[in-house]
């Protein structure tokens, strides 16, 4: 599973995938340290330089700020002109009030009966005016009938007769129907009806005149209009008001410009203050730099992990490889009891015979249905391969099984470094023909009395061996199966893949991988390549601890050289 098919994961699988990537990112202290350190230093430099730069910028901004303009004189001028305008308005309002005629209220001295009579006449006059106005607006028989039907006009002599004549003419006109408009008789009837209506209107107007005369007699007389004499010269105050208004308008505009300018100056001053105030206490800058370093360092490690995902746990390793995880090697527990015996103190520090991880691995190999007399421990990191192979052989020896541990990589001599034994002549001596098997096999002990035979790799590189030599070594290892219960071969993956020049006689291998260090694609490629050369993968060993520290081949040769002061106690008693 890689980051390319991450988008096809389900919700739960997505959470597990992201959690695994986050754990692996936290297990990359080198990347976290480098990225976090760079961010920390950069943040501190930025926190120091930014305030200084801001201070210089604030000084430059402050130097260009203009002085605030005083608006007090303009405000005083505006207020004085406003007072003059209000004074002129007051004088002119008084003059206007004095120029208007004084209307004396009418005092009604008539008795209540006359007042009631006046109100009745006023009502009748209003009704008559309304009917006459209707006739004038619409001189139709219906309007004339409404006017003649009023109580004031109907009481006059001759009006009922005219009303009857008008009704008779209306009936005669109705006999002509819709086509009577062009008939001479119809026209004569219409002219007669209009004449009668005018007569009714004349009677109504005569009656209205009488009502007006009656109303004039009983209405109170209006008092004469008193016009006061004006002695104030308003022209001076008008000129004063116009002048004051001009001053007020100019002062208002000038004050608006001053306020706009002062607002801009205040903004520039605030900006200069903000620039000058950029900064923080040292402890705050240090804390911010630490937070940024941790956050960005983790982000970098997490991004790299997403680009190249590594093994996070057994589930991922089994899912990618299709093989079972036999054991997970974790940091060993410190046991005080082991420091009490001299044999345990002098034992190689990487050998842990009480580890449950190696014991589980040994029990798996020892309990399979088909006997696995020869198993190859392989992987890309020789330190882990050598440590796992040596501890597997030590577990077999601790269980009283005769075991042979073989190292095939002379470039590292890692088995000799783990067990602190002499690497030469080793397997390279056998391949080159300079040593025999009894001379190359180094016996050692595990604990106080558990024997273990080791065939180190030697330190001389012999190049690619001849095919007949390879066959001889394979046959000898096959013959040794009758002598040993268990043969463990430590070999890098690249060596196991070379089937033509490899001395490995059996197809059974156990692949070692390192948690948070071995990529998923690398594990998949190693598994596919091993299966491609017909190797049978029994399972995986996951290393979830610090990288084992072993001597390099040069350091081992130097330590075992007598001229360099080699101490015999470095090699356990044989």
Residues contacting residue 413 through CB under 8 Å, at least 6 positions apart: 407, 423, 426, 456, 457, 458, 459, 553, 556
Please say if the pLDDT value at position 146 is more than 70.
yes
Please say if the pLDDT value at position 370 is more than 70.
no
DSSP-assigned beta bridge partners for residue 442: 454
- C-alpha span between 510 and 388 (Å, rounded): 10
Please say if the pLDDT value at position 12 is more than 90.
no
How many CB atoms are closer than 10 A to CB 475? 11
Please say if the pLDDT value at position 396 is more than 80.
yes
Give yes or no for a contact between 413 and 385, defined as CB atoms under 8 angstroms apart.
no
Give yes or no for a contact between 128 and 211, defined as CB atoms under 8 angstroms apart.
yes
Residues 182-189: what's their mean pLDDT? 77
Q: Which of 226-240, 288-302, 431-445, 551-565 has the highest mean pLDDT?
A: 431-445
- CA 509-512-513 angle, to 5 degrees, is 145
pLDDT of residue 153: 80
Please say if the pLDDT value at position 119 is more than 80.
yes
**Where are the domains positioned within the chain?**
112-218, 317-560
Query: How do residues 486-534 score in pLDDT, each as one tens digit?
Result: 899 999 988 888 777 788 888 889 999 998 888 889 999 999 998 888 8
Higher pLDDT, 12 or 414: 414
CA-based nearest residue to 464, from 510, 423, 432:
432
310: DSSP letter: B
How many CB atoms are closer than 10 A to CB 101? 10
Please say if the pLDDT value at position 85 is more than 80.
yes
- C-alpha span between 518 and 380 (Å, rounded): 9
pLDDT of residue 276: 59
Q: Using CB atoms within 10 A of its CB, is residue 244 exposed (0-12), middle (13-18) or buried (19+)?
A: buried
Using DSSP bridges, classify how beta strands 325-329 and 374-379 pair: parallel, antiparallel or unpaired.
unpaired
Please say if the pLDDT value at position 463 is more than 60.
yes
Q: How confident is the model at residue 573 (pLDDT cuts 50, 70, 90)?
A: very low
pLDDT of residue 49: 61
Higher pLDDT, 547 or 280: 547
355: DSSP letter: -
Q: How confident is the model at residue 371 (pLDDT cuts 50, 70, 90)?
A: low
CA-based nearest residue to 332, from 245, 391, 379, 268:
391
Residue with tokens 């900006």: 271
CA atoms within 13 A on the CB side of 441: 15
**Residues shown for the chain:** 574
Please say if the pLDDT value at position 345 is more than 70.
no
Higher pLDDT, 95 or 463: 95
Q: How confident is the model at residue 222 (pLDDT cuts 50, 70, 90)?
A: low
Residues 173-202: what's their mean pLDDT? 76
Q: Which two tokens stand for residue 175?
A: 């006999």
DSSP-assigned beta bridge partners for residue 519: 310
pLDDT of residue 238: 84
279: DSSP letter: -
Residue with tokens 């930025």: 46
Q: What is the mean pLDDT of the chain?
A: 78
Q: Which of 88-92, 229-233, 450-454 has the highest mean pLDDT?
A: 450-454
Q: Which two tokens stand for residue 190?
A: 């219409």
Task: DSSP for 488-543, please give it.
Answer: EEEEEHHHHH-TTT------EEEEEEETTTSBHHHHHHHHHHHHHTT-EEEEEEEE
Residues 198-219: what's their mean pLDDT? 82
Q: How confident is the model at residue 467 (pLDDT cuts 50, 70, 90)?
A: confident
Residues 8-26: what's their mean pLDDT? 71
Alpha carbon of residue 166 to chain centroid: 95
* % of the chain residues with pLDDT over 70: 79
Please say if the pLDDT value at position 165 is more than 50.
yes
Q: Which two tokens stand for residue 196?
A: 């009668």
- C-alpha span between 139 and 144 (Å, rounded): 7
Give yes or no for a contact between 327 and 360, defined as CB atoms under 8 angstroms apart.
yes
pLDDT of residue 3: 43
Q: Which two tokens stand for residue 403?
A: 């075991």
For residue 222, which phi and psi values (nearest 5 degrees)?
Answer: -75, 145
Residues 13-38: what's their mean pLDDT? 77
- C-alpha span between 456 and 133 (Å, rounded): 140
Please say if the pLDDT value at position 360 is more than 70.
yes
Residue ranges of alpha helices (H) inside 314-425 are 314-321, 342-346, 356-366, 382-398, 414-419
pLDDT of residue 513: 92
Q: How confident is the model at residue 25 (pLDDT cuts 50, 70, 90)?
A: confident
Residue with tokens 């009966």: 113
The alpha carbon dihedral of 24, 26, 30, 36 has a sign of positive
CA distances from 273 to 36, 51, 522 (A): 33, 12, 58
Residue with tokens 């012999």: 462
- C-alpha span between 427 and 408 (Å, rounded): 7
The CA radius of gyration of the chain, in Å to the nearest whole number, is 62
CATH class for the region spanning 317-560: alpha beta
Please say if the pLDDT value at position 574 is more than 50.
no
Query: How do residues 250-271 score in pLDDT, each as one tens digit?
Result: 888 988 888 888 888 878 777 7
- C-alpha span between 200 and 407 (Å, rounded): 148
Buried b (16+ CB within 10 A) or exposed e, 373-392: bbbbbbbbbbbbbbbbbbbb
Please say if the pLDDT value at position 413 is more than 80.
yes
pTM beyond 0.85, yes or no:
no
pLDDT of residue 101: 62
E strand segments, 408-482: 442-446, 450-455
Higher pLDDT, 325 or 146: 325
DSSP-assigned beta bridge partners for residue 510: 377, 539
Higher pLDDT, 570 or 387: 387
- CA 17-22-23 angle, to 5 degrees, is 100
Please say if the pLDDT value at position 568 is more than 50.
no
Give yes or no for a contact between 574 and 452, defined as CB atoms under 8 angstroms apart.
no
Residues 90-103: what's their mean pLDDT? 72
CA-based nearest residue to 474, from 436, 440, 441, 502:
502
pLDDT of residue 388: 92
């Amino acid at each position: 599973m890689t980051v390319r098919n991450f988008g096809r994961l389900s919700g739960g699988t997505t959470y597990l995938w992201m959690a695994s990537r986050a754990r692996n990112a936290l297990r990359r202290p080198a990347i976290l340290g480098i990225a976090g350190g760079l961010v920390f230093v950069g943040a501190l430099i930025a926190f120091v330089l930014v305030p200084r730069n801001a201070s210089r910028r604030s000084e430059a901004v402050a130097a260009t700020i203009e002085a605030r303009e005083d608006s007090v004189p303009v405000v005083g001028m505006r207020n004085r002109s406003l007072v003059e305008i209000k004074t002129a308005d007051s004088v002119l309002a008084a003059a206007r009030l004095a120029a208007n005629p004084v209307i004396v209220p009418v005092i009604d001295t008539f008795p209540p009966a006359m007042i009631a009579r006046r109100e009745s006449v006023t009502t009748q006059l209003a009704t008559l005016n309304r009917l006459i106005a209707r006739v004038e607006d619409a001189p139709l028989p219906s309007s004339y009938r409404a006017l003649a039907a009023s109580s004031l006009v109907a009481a006059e002599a001759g009006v009922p007769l005219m009303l009857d004549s008008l009704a008779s003419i209306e009936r005669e006109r109705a006999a002509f129907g819709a086509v009577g408009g062009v008939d001479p008789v119809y026209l004569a009837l219409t002219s007669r009806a209009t004449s009668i209506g005018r007569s009714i209107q004349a009677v109504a107007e005569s009656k209205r005149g009488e009502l007006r005369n009656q109303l004039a007699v009983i209405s109170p007389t209006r008092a004469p209009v008193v016009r006061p004499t004006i002695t104030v010269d308003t022209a001076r105050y008008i000129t004063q008001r116009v002048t004051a208004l001009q001053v007020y308008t100019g002062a208002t505009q000038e004050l608006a410009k001053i306020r706009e300018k002062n607002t801009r100056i205040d903004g520039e001053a605030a900006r200069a203050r903000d620039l000058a105030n950029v900064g923080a206490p040292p402890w705050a800058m240090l804390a911010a730099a630490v937070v940024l370093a941790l956050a960005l360092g983790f982000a970098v490690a997490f991004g790299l992990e997403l680009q190249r995902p590594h093994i996070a746990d057994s589930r991922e390793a089994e899912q990618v490889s299709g093989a079972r995880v036999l054991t997970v090697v974790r940091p060993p527990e410190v046991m005080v009891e082991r420091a009490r015996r001299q044999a345990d103190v002098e034992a190689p520090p990487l050998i842990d015979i009480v580890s449950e991880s190696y014991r589980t691995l040994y029990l798996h190999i020892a309990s399979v249905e088909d006997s696995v007399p020869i198993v190859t421990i392989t992987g890309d990191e020789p330190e882990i391969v050598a440590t796992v192979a040596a501890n597997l052989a030590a577990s077999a020896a601790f269980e009283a099984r005769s075991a042979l541990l073989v190292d095939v990589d002379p470039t590292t001599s890692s088995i000799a470094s783990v067990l602190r034994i002499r690497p030469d002549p080793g397997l390279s001596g056998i391949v080159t023909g300079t040593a025999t098997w009894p001379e190359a096999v180094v016996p050692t002990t595990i604990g106080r009395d558990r024997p273990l035979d080791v065939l180190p790799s030697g330190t001389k590189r012999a190049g690619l061996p001849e095919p007949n030599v390879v066959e001889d070594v394979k046959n000898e290892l096959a013959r040794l199966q009758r002598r040993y219960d268990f043969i463990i071969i430590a070999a890098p993956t690249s060596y196991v893949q070379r089937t033509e020049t490899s001395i490995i006689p059996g197809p059974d291998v156990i692949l070692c991988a390192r948690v948070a260090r071995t990529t998923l694609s690398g594990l998949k490629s190693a598994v596919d390549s091993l299966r491609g050369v017909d190797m049978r993968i029994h399972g995986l060993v996951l290393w979830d601890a610090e990288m084992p520290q072993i001597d390099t081949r040069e350091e081992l040769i130097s330590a075992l050289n007598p001229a360099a002061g080699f101490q015999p106690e470095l090699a356990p008693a044989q």
